[in-house]
Amino acid sequence: MSHLPRRAAAVLAVAALVSGCGFRGAYSLDLPGGADTGDDPYAVQIQFADVLDLVPQSAVRVADVPVGKVTDVELGEDWTALVTVEVDRDVELPANAVAMIGQSSLLGEKYVELASPGGEPAAGVLDDGATITLDRTNRNIEVEEVLGALSLVLNGGGLTQLQTITSELGQALEGREDAVRNTLDQLDVFIGGLDDQKAEISRALDSVDALAATLAVGSGTLETALDTIGPGLDVLEDQRGLLVGMLQSLAQLGDVGTRVVNQAGADTVADLQLLQPILTQLAAAGPDLAGSLDLLLTFPFPASSLSSLQYRPDQRTGGYGLFTNMTADLNLDLQELFCRYVVDQTTGALTLLPRDVVGDTCGLAGSPGGGAGPSATAAPADPGVQAFSVPTLPGDLTAILPDPTAGTGSTLLGLPAIPGLTSGATP
């Protein structure tokens, strides 16, 4: 009886020791052939949507090489499975590593596969206490799932319906092979056209997106416009009767205009036909008419010569004289004209004499000058020419008109006879 209390005490001590160390039965025992995690492994938690039948002590592999083991599988707060694994400290994995539950064979055990991300570059280092989140975990398809899906097809599932669909499709396409082939060809061309225009389609979608963004920015302005257009619509509603009346009046005006045009059409055509000869002649005279307009307002000089007009001050009048390409001095002194210009009695030609006016008497050029009175004469240089007094115009012009019955002297109207000037005489 003395050994019983000691045995009981020993059992209680072992139980307390085991319970304090977290003993979980066979899961707490290292199985032979497991991965060696070393003396200082690091722990990583992995979130899975479904862990299948993964259990503690399952292997953890990298590139199908055992590097650790599963130490715990529990249910997380968001109803996801939270798996804790231990990995050998010598195995370095990136911080964005991915995890997947795999199966060693068709009916083999489950294990956790760790790997670098395939769609992005590796970054950081996976360290003790890290967590691989749910978006970076996955699992393989189970054989049981494949066999279950196949059983649904084979055991009266969709296989008989598939045969019916195939039979009906054959009957529907029978005799319409060419039409179906043509449809497929057109569909291929259509899809090809869409593929060729994908850049334009993308640009159109970008433009629509930019338009939508612009409208979104101006939504306040659009809202204000929609709010303020209401009173305008109310005014149009109030004036609807007047607008309808105006449109009806316009319709009546159109009817009247149409009737007037139809009734006056023949007369209008006749008037245009009568105007045709006039317009034809006017068109024919077009060049001459255009040329005459150049001279009409600037007669007698063409308009093109206005740019060459020059001017100079007039010392006698204090004004300006306009001239173009020529100058002329007009002497209208009758005394000098009658003294120096005579008419040849034989030929009737106007002849210039070398005479000057001295006082009121004509004399030869270079003579000492005439007397002071009408009777004084200059000494002629030519014995065949006599000096004469310059007549003045009396009030009665008959005093200077020659007598046509005298038979001598000039018979030309308006010029006096010059004594001593005979035919052939040289002044």
Binned at pLDDT 50, 70 and 90, residue 388 comes out as very low
Q: Looking at residues 363-391, what average pLDDT do you find?
A: 45
Residue 387 has pLDDT above 50, yes or no: no
Vertex 68: Cα angle to 63 and 72 (nearest 5) = 125
The torsion defined by the Cα of 252, 254, 258 and 264, in degrees rounded to 10, comes to: 90
Q: Are 352 and 345 in contact (CB under 8 A)?
A: no
DSSP calls for 277-312: HHHHHHHHTHHHHHHHHHHHTTTTS-GGGGGG-EEE
Mean pLDDT comparison of 228-242, 373-387, 393-407, highest-scoring range: 228-242
Q: What is the pLDDT of residue 390?
A: 45
389 vs 316, which has greater pLDDT?
A: 316
Give the residue from 103, 104, 114 showing the smallest Cα distance to 52: 103
pLDDT of 413 > 70? The answer is: no
pLDDT above 70 covers a percentage of the chain that reads 64
Residue 97 confidence (pLDDT): 93
State the Cα–Cα distance between residues 158 and 8, nearest whole angstrom: 66
How high is the pLDDT of residue 361?
A: 65
Encode pLDDT of 170-213 as tens digits. 888 888 888 888 999 999 999 999 999 999 999 999 999 999 99
pLDDT for 24 beyond 60: no
Q: Is the pLDDT of residue 397 over 70?
A: no
Tell me which of 380 and 169 has the higher pLDDT: 169
Q: What angle do CA 390, 394, 398 make, to 5 degrees?
A: 100
195-204, 226-235, 246-255: least confident range? 226-235
Model pTM? 0.34
Residue 356, pLDDT above cutoff 90: no
Segment 66-96, tens digit of pLDDT: 999 999 999 888 888 999 999 999 899 999 9
